[in-house]
Structure formats: C-alpha cells, structure tokens
Amino acid sequence: MSNRFVEMGLRSPVNLTWEVTFACNLRCRHCLSASAEAAVNELTTSEALGLVEQIHQAGVFQINFGGGEPFLRPDFEEILQGCHRRGIMTCISTNGTLLDPPLAKRLAASGLVAIQVSLDGAWQATCEAIRGRGTHAAAIGALELLASSGIPTSINTVLTSLNAREIPDLQALAKTLGVSFRVSRFRPSGRGTDNWQDLRPQPEQLLDFSEWLGHQGDVRTGDSFFSLMPQERQGLGLNLCGAAKLTACVGPTGNFYPCAFLQREEFFAGSIRDQSFQEIWEGAPIYDSLRNLRIRSCEECQRFDQCHGGCPAVAYHLKSEMDGGDPECLERCVSSLAEERTTAAA
C-alpha cells in the first residue's frame, strides 16, 4: 500500500468503526469498550440515519459495526438498511447469541454485509474462560447458520495468553465450518485494562504467532498485527497505524475518536450532535495530531519501514505516551525473550 498517498491526507476515511451501543449481554474479560449497559443518551434512530447520510456523502466505503452487541439495538436493522440503500458496505462484529434464521435471511438479502462472530477458543473451556458460559456453543451455532446463509462470515479471535496455542485449531475449525478466520490484537483498553496481566500474550507466544502467521496467507488480521507482521505477509495489509488517516471511530452517543481503542476524553475529536462528519474529519485537532505523529524512537530500527512504530494506542495505554513505540512489536518481543533467557541462564 502506498503510504505517500495516505500521508497526503484522504478526503474521508476508507472505513469507519461505529460502536452503535454499549449494551451487551456478555461480559467478556477483554472487551475493549467495557460494554455492559447502553450508554446514557445513545444516538436516536433519526440521528443515526442522519449520520449514515453524512458518511455516504463523504464517500466512506465501509462501516464496521461493533459495540456492545449491535443486535441489542432495536433499530440496528434500520440503520443497516440505511447504509445498504446508499451502497455502503457493512461488517458486523457480533457475539452471535441473537442471530436466528429469519434475521440471517434478512441480512443476506442486502448482499452488502459481512459478519464476524467472536470466538475466543477452539475448545469450550478456553472460550468460556474469556467470554462466559454458553458462549462457545452460541458462537458455533451462529457460525453454522451464517455459513449456510451466503453471508461472508468469519470467526474473529482476540489473541490472548489463554488461546494462543489454539490458534491453528481455530483456523481448522473455521475451515470445517466453511468460514474465514480472523485474529485481532488484544489491547489494554476497556475491561482489557483490568485483565491485561492475565490475558496478555507472552513475548514467546507473540513470536510463535508471528511465525505461524507468515505461512497463513488466508488468515485475516485487519490492521491488528502490522507491528508483528513477518516478512512473508508484507504487502497484504497496512504497515502503519491508520487512525485518523484511513479510519476513525464513532461511539454510541455520536462522539468521534481516532480508533476504537482510544475512546477516552483526551482523544475526543468531536460530536456529530455539534458538528458535521466532514468538519470533524478535517478539523479535529486530535486527528491532526495523529496524522503528524512520528515515532522517532523507532526510526533507527531495522523494521521501521514495516511498522512505523506500531500501535500508538498500545503505547499510550502501557506507557502513557503516543510516540514511544509499540511495546509489543516484533523487535521488542525478540529483545524481551533474549533478556529472559539470559536472566534464566545466569
């Protein structure tokens, strides 16, 4: 991908993450937004449809819906229809518990929807240790339903210390079910902050995953793992943070942020209730700051051209600085492991 054009500045995001509600019927330990109850004053149907129109006018190609559990929002299908009528592609991240055949049929009819079902372990015990009782069976049921519906579907797994060794089994399960496999990065935001030490993958697990990923061209990672990306996958995805350059995030009340992992007051870009989408995209100081962020401490690294300093959100959450470099990048994992081994040998 050409960074030159990205750095020139795009007139609008390529895609937008929209957390339509914070209401959720699960309490996953790694939830990036600590979802539980709906936020106070979430966007009304009319406001949400108005936002869809603005997103369409701006030329955004795709909206990635998440939450919370999006299907808990009573008007969610209406919002989807508003997108599809305008030709906007959509991807829904769901826990799968609320899907049933009639809903799957209605979703499939648009031809513009893809669905990711969260599954955090190939085995029931692993998944339920992270997501709660009954979640493994519910996700498998939803995946079987979606696989037969014609909707492009994927398993989405957040890589943690608990499921790292099951990643190849999850890939095999996806193949058996006839769906794609996607792995996302665990970041210390939301409830993930409280459970960071328990669930964070260890450097050795990250290195193993990176090596494995290099041989799996069909496994998707979104923009999660560019800081860990092995040479073999170069060119398959991003090699820099896309926040405020290629993507942005809007929360349930219409507040905009650079990305889903930076939904905090200090990263507030503006509210759709006060400004237009285009005004926020073009004028938010925090977006300018992200666009101009340079991770100078990483510039001497041999892998700098491959990750440009990695994920600023992880750097922020772990080190309280945006420009300090990703603490879990491939180079740092290698160094950390070498240090551990030296210490152990001594």
Partner 1 sequence: MSLETAYILHPACRVREEAFGLLFYDSRGPRLLFAETGRLLTPEFFRGQESLHCRLLGCGAAELDRVGNLLGKLVTKGYLREQPLC
Residues near partner 1, by CB under 8 A: 1-2, 5, 8-12, 14-15, 59, 61-62, 87, 89, 111, 114, 246
CA 15, 255, 68, 195 dihedral sign is positive
User: What is the C-alpha separation between 69 and 37, in angstroms, rounded?
Assistant: 10
Residue number, 5 or 197, with CB nearest to partner 1: 5
Q: How far is the CB of 276 from partner 1 (least distance, A)?
A: 18
Residue number, 62 or 149, with CB nearest to partner 1: 62
The pair of structure tokens assigned to 99 is 């899907």
User: What is the C-alpha separation between 192 and 132, in angstroms, rounded?
Assistant: 15
Q: How far is the CB of 6 from partner 1 (least distance, A)?
A: 8
User: What is the C-alpha separation between 322 and 265, in angstroms, rounded?
Assistant: 15
Residue number, 8 or 125, with CB nearest to partner 1: 8
**DSSP letter assigned to residue 244:** T
Q: How far is the CB of 154 from partner 1 (least distance, A)?
A: 12
The pair of structure tokens assigned to 241 is 């943070």
Residue number, 33 or 180, with CB nearest to partner 1: 180
Return the CA Rg of the chain. Answer: 20
Residue number, 58 or 103, with CB nearest to partner 1: 58
Q: Is 50 helix (H, G, I), strand (E, B) or coil?
A: helix
Residue number, 54 or 193, with CB nearest to partner 1: 54
Q: Are 266 and 316 in contact (CB under 8 A)?
A: no
Residue number, 222 or 325, with CB nearest to partner 1: 222
Measure Cα distances from 288 to 17, 26, 222, 271, 294 in Å: 19, 36, 23, 16, 12
User: What is the C-alpha separation between 63 and 88, in angstroms, rounded?
Assistant: 7
Q: How far is the CB of 181 from partner 1 (least distance, A)?
A: 15
Q: How far is the CB of 233 from partner 1 (least distance, A)?
A: 13
Q: What is the dihedral of CA 33, 274, 49, 282, to 10 degrees?
A: -80
Residue number, 9 or 134, with CB nearest to partner 1: 9
The pair of structure tokens assigned to 77 is 């299908």
Helices (H), 148-200: 167-177, 191-194, 196-199
Q: How far is the CB of 1 from partner 1 (least distance, A)?
A: 6
Q: Are strands 255-257 and 270-271 parallel, antiparallel or unpaired?
A: antiparallel
Q: How far is the CB of 31 from partner 1 (least distance, A)?
A: 24
Q: How far is the CB of 67 from partner 1 (least distance, A)?
A: 21
Q: Which residue is associated with the tokens 């009782």?
A: 133
Residue number, 41 or 57, with CB nearest to partner 1: 57
Burial of 318 (0-12, 13-18, 19+ CB in 10 A): middle
Q: How far is the CB of 15 from partner 1 (least distance, A)?
A: 8
